[in-house]
Copies of this chain bind each other. A is one copy, B any other.
Amino acid sequence: MAKDILAEVITIGDEILYGQITDTNTQWISAELDKIGVKTVRKSSVGDREDRILDILREAESRADIILMTGGLGPTKDDITKKTLAKYFNSTLEIHPEALRDVAEIFSRRGFELTELNRQQAALPTNATFVSNKVGTAPGMWFEKDGKVFVSMPGVPHEMKWLMENAILEKLRQHFRTPIIYHKMIRTIGIGESFLATKIEQWEDNLPPHIRLAYLPSMGQVKLRLTATGEDLDTLQREVQAQIDELLQIVPEYVYGYGSDELEMTVGRALAEKGLTLAVAESCTGGFLGHSITRIPGASRYFVGGVLAYSNEVKINHLGVNPETLRQHGAVSEQTVREMAENVRQRLNASIGVATTGVAGPDGGTPEKPVGTVWIAFADGTRTVAKKLQLFKDREINIKFSSLSVLNLIRQNLS
């Protein structure tokens, strides 16, 4: 197998270093590099200081084949990337005629006069290959040194993306003749990372060396990412699919989707395909369940609405929960959540009703029903399924975890 092509991604700028703005560039860049088989070995942020930039360039050159930089190309004094690159390559800055034409065009289009400060945006180190930026005033720059490639791009995300998509990625593919890499993400819910790892240990140990597994846990979910490296995309896709087929024999009940599928989408698609409609009755989730469902575009095809039954009065008067049920068993009980799910289904004339009631915290817990006690239910007219969750101390997590569990309950009862 060919040697890995390694990249280092560097953001330059005090505003990122001090946490004033969010860096979304490096995530996007490394995901794009990954798709063409280039491995990111390091991501770094440094401030607008010559010594720090020279340091990181030297280090990056020793580690990687490709050094991609964003930021520090603005017209103001604190943007020093270009001067520093000229120094690093023992080069000098000169006005580049094509770059000047680009800048002049943008200014005339905006109806502004070109100042000397703006003219300097067209000055490039003489060893740089000019990469035209049609969506901003700072040009891209491509450098080669001892077989390694350095690229400098503006930090404004849409300008950086435009340069990557219209020039840089293709130039890198050609320059390094990159290997084929294929990823597939398998999304699971309802089993913790360590339990899942134990269940699929043997399968994991039997993966061929060119297919790697990564666990990506998030609240209530574990994503498994398979990464295959080889010569031929069709072969890799077949090999990965064969592994997934084996995995599905071991843990079929936990896999809900692949790639960028979210649970809300999987559930929404299943409802739409079956021509079913959904109504929600929310107590402890207070609207978050409805939001999870309706944040997906097109949710109106299957979601009719719901009742936020926060107070007992609303549970009785607007969901028709029997006051006797509340008196005997309390609001947080199997009996109450069943009535909520069944009644919201009937009253809102939906195929399916779901409900939540619980102690989200931090207050309101009792010895029998401590904070984190949540009941959820699913009703479809022929049967009602209720489930008790024993969650955490954190209110926000309890709310989100409960909503997620309801979505999973719908998924399980639809299939």
Contacts and interface: CB of A to CB of B under 8 A. Distances in A.
A59 interface: yes
Interface in A15-68: 15-24, 26-34, 39-47, 52, 56, 59
Contacts of A168: none
A131 interface: no
A242 interface: no
Interface residues of A, number: 103
Nearest to A114: B194
B44 A52 contact: no
Identify which of A213, A290, A393 gathers the most chain B CB atoms within 10 Å of its CB.
Answer: A290
Given A41-B52, A193-B75, A295 B290 contact: no
B295 A305 contact: no
A180 to B, nearest CB: 16
Interface stretch (A94-102, A142-150, A279-287): A279-287
A305 B308 CA distance: 5
A321 interface: no
Contacts of A392: 135
Interface stretch (A171-179, A311-319, A322-330): A311-319
Interface stretch (A83-91, A214-222, A407-415): A214-222
B310 A314 contact: no
A216 B15 contact: yes
Contacts of A377: none
A45 B7 CA distance: 12
A261 interface: no
A117 interface: yes
Interface stretch (A122-130, A231-239, A249-257, A394-402): A394-402
Interface in A272-310: 280, 282, 285-295, 297-300, 303-310
Contacts of A349: 313, 317
B294 A75 contact: no
B214 A15 contact: yes
A387 interface: no
Contacts of A230: none
A395 B117 contact: no
Interface in A182-200: 192-195, 197-198
Contacts of A280: 287, 308
B28 A117 contact: no
B40 A18 contact: yes
Nearest to A307: B307
A265 interface: no
A291 B360 CA distance: 12
B311 A286 contact: no
A22 B24 contact: yes
A221 to B, nearest CB: 12
A362 interface: yes
Given A34-B18, A44-B44, A115-B198, A308 B287 contact: yes
Given A19-B31, A193-B76, A310 B318 contact: no
A158 interface: yes
Interface string A196-226: 0110000000000000011111000000010
Interface of A: 14-24, 26-34, 39-47, 52, 56, 59, 74-78, 109-112, 115, 117-118, 135, 156, 158, 192-195, 197-198, 213-217, 225, 280, 282, 285-295, 297-300, 303-311, 313-314, 317-318, 347-349, 361-363, 390, 392-397, 399
Given A18-B39, A135-B392, 11 more contacts: A75-B197, A76-B215, A78-B213, A109-B390, A112-B192, A118-B194, A297-B361, A300-B311, A305-B310, A313-B349, A317-B349
